[in-house]
């Protein structure tokens, strides 16, 4: 079976052949993240400190890195298939950008839901979508989907997305976040 690959937005904005100034790769298990949510925060804070020390980044920038990593790893853990699968977290530093790449395996249904959400975010009014979503939270407890809206709204970030069908109910999802770390 030939893998079906679909990409959105700024996927591979920085090609893999360009050597980074600093590189960190972690492989995580979703079950570890789901059973101990605090671990996601620990991973996020560690990555922010790792790159913060390299470039003497301020607290605001380190907080941005931590928040983005936290959101991406949390989503990967929540929607991973199978539960004992893996999450690859790959961070690369390039002058004024940190490329944060998160890859995991999801089901057909999760892929469809996420892909539909991404299409709406890429074509919609982020501010309006964000506030509409906040208003909808009054009547329900579901916060699903607000993380990407928040990141697009509040951070100097660009995203790229890749969906790759591996088998009928097994899809590899890769999210790339390009975070500008120059503090204003």
Pairing of strands 170-180, 4-9: unpaired
CATH of the domain at 75: 3.30.565.10
Q: Rounded to two decimals, what is the model's pTM? A: 0.90
How many domains does one find in the chain? Answer: 1
pLDDT in tens, 105-120: 999 999 999 999 899 8
CA–CA separation, 157 vs 145, rounded Å? 17
pLDDT (mean) for 9-24: 92
pLDDT in tens, 30-70: 877 777 778 899 999 999 999 888 667 888 889 999 999 99
Determine the structural domain holding residue 83 and report its residue range: 4-180
**Helix or strand holding residue 88 (H, E):** strand 87-94
CA atoms within 13 Å, Cβ hemisphere of 100? 24
Percentage of residues in the chain with pLDDT exceeding 70? Answer: 90
pLDDT (mean) for 62-90: 88
């Amino acid at each position: 079976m030939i893998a079906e690959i679909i990409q959105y937005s700024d996927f591979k904005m920085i090609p893999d052949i360009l050597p980074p100034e600093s590189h960190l790769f972690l492989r995580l298990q979703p079950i570890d993240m789901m059973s101990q949510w605090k671990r996601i925060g620990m991973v996020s804070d560690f990555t922010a400190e790792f790159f913060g020390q390299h470039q003497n980044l301020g607290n605001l920038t380190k907080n941005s890195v931590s928040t983005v990593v936290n959101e991406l790893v949390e989503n990967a853990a929540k929607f991973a298939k199978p539960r004992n699968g893996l999450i690859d977290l790959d961070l690369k530093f390039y002058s004024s950008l940190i490329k944060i790449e998160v890859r995991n395996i999801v089901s057909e249904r999760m892929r469809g839901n996420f892909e539909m959400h991404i299409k709406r975010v890429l074509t919609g009014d982020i501010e309006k979508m964000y506030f509409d979503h906040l208003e909808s939270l009054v009547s329900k407890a579901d916060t699903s989907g607000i993380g990407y809206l928040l990141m697009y709204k509040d951070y100097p970030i660009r995203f790229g997305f890749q969906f790759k069908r591996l088998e009928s109910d097994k899809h590899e999802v890769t999210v790339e976040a390009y975070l500008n770390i120059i503090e204003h």
